[in-house]
């Protein structure tokens, strides 16, 4: 079995890191709770335009009118604060210890994503890492799954022997469906409100792995 994992809010708490950085930035600038709420909302869980988010931060906190500098400031802040979810690296080790292959498939800027991976020590727990900014293709384009499988030496694997696990329905679940893999959605307490429910829905990544491992045909160790 092959397990492909999203990075942000699947293996690591990216939104937690951003919220922590934003709270500190607002406090340093003498801002208000309304400023913090506006900045967190503008982030859109990491999916907003980075320039648009930087503009909100600049305007709310009175920073110098330098959008690229503002983007770099919040990116550094995220990298400094990001942490892996409790126990998730042990779960990856458990999969690999059972003879399964594990890869990270993430959208994003290579410096930012590789920085988070390094900060959280993820590379030692996986067999491959695929970053969209390095490949020129991003989820939900199924070509990024094919790149990951090729990197694992499994280009010809039956796609029903592959799980794509992530928190973003429009990217992670969608790319799994497009590539013909099984899909697991990390809900963080949200409800799936669209059609075509994923194969597995769970509030945390560790629970998603456990439920996926219990699906008929999936054998661990």
- Read off the pLDDT of residues 135-192 as tens digits, 9 standing for 90 and up: 999 999 999 999 999 999 999 999 999 999 999 999 999 999 999 999 999 999 999 9
Confidence of residue 115 (pLDDT cuts 50, 70, 90): very high
At 182, which helix (H) or strand (E)? strand 182-186
Enumerate the domain spans of the chain.
2-13+85-213, 14-81
For 83, the 3-state DSSP assignment is coil
The Cα 157–Cα 134 span in angstroms is 24
With tokens 């013909």, the residue in question is 180
Mean pLDDT rounded to a whole number for the chain:
96
pLDDT in the model for residue 219: 57
| 186, β-bridge pairs | 202
50-61 vs 14-28: helix crossing angle, rounded to 10: 30
Q: What class is the 2-13+85-213 domain? A: alpha beta
Sign of the torsion angle spanned by Cα atoms 193, 198, 202, 206: negative
pLDDT in the model for residue 220: 59
Average of per-residue pLDDT across 98-127: 98
The Cα 73–Cα 80 span in angstroms is 11
Output the six-digit token pair for 173.
């679940």
Strands (E), 17-138: 101-106, 128-131
Average of per-residue pLDDT across 53-79: 98
Output the six-digit token pair for 77.
């802040």
CB 171 within 8 A of CB 153: no
Distance set, CA 10 to CA 1, 6, 14, 53, 221 (Å): 19, 6, 9, 22, 23
pLDDT in the model for residue 218: 66
Output the six-digit token pair for 18.
């951003």
pLDDT in the model for residue 216: 79
The Cα 53–Cα 25 span in angstroms is 14
pTM of the model: 0.95
pLDDT in the model for residue 221: 53
How do 128-131 and 101-106 pair as beta strands? parallel
Average of per-residue pLDDT across 27-39: 98
């Amino acid at each position: 079995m092959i397990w492909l994992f999203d990075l942000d809010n699947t293996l690591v708490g990216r939104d937690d890191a951003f919220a922590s950085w934003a709270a500190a930035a607002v406090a340093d600038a003498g801002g208000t709770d309304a400023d913090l709420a506006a900045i967190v909302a503008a982030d859109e869980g990491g999916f907003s335009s980075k320039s648009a988010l930087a503009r909100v931060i600049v305007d709310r906190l009175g920073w110098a009118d330098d959008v690229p500098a503002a983007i770099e400031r919040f990116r550094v802040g995220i990298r400094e604060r990001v942490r892996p979810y409790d126990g998730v690296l042990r779960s990856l080790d458990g999969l690999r210890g059972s003879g399964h292959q594990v890869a990270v498939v993430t959208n994003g800027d290579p410096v930012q994503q590789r920085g988070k991976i390094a900060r959280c020590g993820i590379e030692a727990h996986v067999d491959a890492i695929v970053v969209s900014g390095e490949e020129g293709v991003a989820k939900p384009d199924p070509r990024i799954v094919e790149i990951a499988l090729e990197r694992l030496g499994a280009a010809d694997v039956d796609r029903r022997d592959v799980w794509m696990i992530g928190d973003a329905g429009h990217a992670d679940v969608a790319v799994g469906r497009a590539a013909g893999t099984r899909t697991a959605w990390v809900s963080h307490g949200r409800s799936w409100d669209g059609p075509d429910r994923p194969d597995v829905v769970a509030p945390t990544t560790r629970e998603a792995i456990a439920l996926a491992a219990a699906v008929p045909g999936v054998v661990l160790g």
